[in-house]
Amino acid sequence: MTNSTGQPTSGARFQFTRKTHSPEQSVYNVEVFLPDQTLYYVATLTLENGLDTLTPKEETQAAAPEWAQKYIDFLCKQLHREAKKDGTWPRKLRQWKPEK
């Protein structure tokens, strides 16, 4: 569920948008929409290792809740598996998850 501003009223919406890519690596803009804030990251994934770096876009940004951070890691693994299987990095991934 979302409120009138598009923020979820519970849980979080995760959106990965491919920024740049090559066969060996992809860089994603990551947005985590929480009820009280939106967090922004840049994730670099490599075909060899999966998630290489996850960097907040703003130095003063609050850390994601632990459950949300674990889900970011899970979604990075999903993107990595798809790239290894299909040979191409997915353009976009968007999912909602309840808080756990």
pLDDT (tens digit, 9 = 90+) per residue, 22-35? 999 999 999 999 99
> What total number of domains does the chain contain?
1
**Residue 7 domain flag:** no
**Residue 55 domain flag:** yes
Phi-psi map region of 72: left, alpha, beta (phi>0 left; psi -120 to 50 alpha): alpha
pLDDT of residue 28: 98
* Domain residue limits at 26: 12-94
Q: Which two tokens stand for residue 36?
A: 């009280």
Return d(Cα 84, Cα 44) in angstroms, integer: 15
**Residue 70 domain flag:** yes
**Residue 52 domain flag:** yes
Confirm whether pTM is higher than 0.85.
yes
Q: How far is CA 28 from CA 35, 52, 60, 73, 99, in A?
A: 22, 12, 20, 13, 23
pLDDT of residue 48: 95
**Residue 3 domain flag:** no
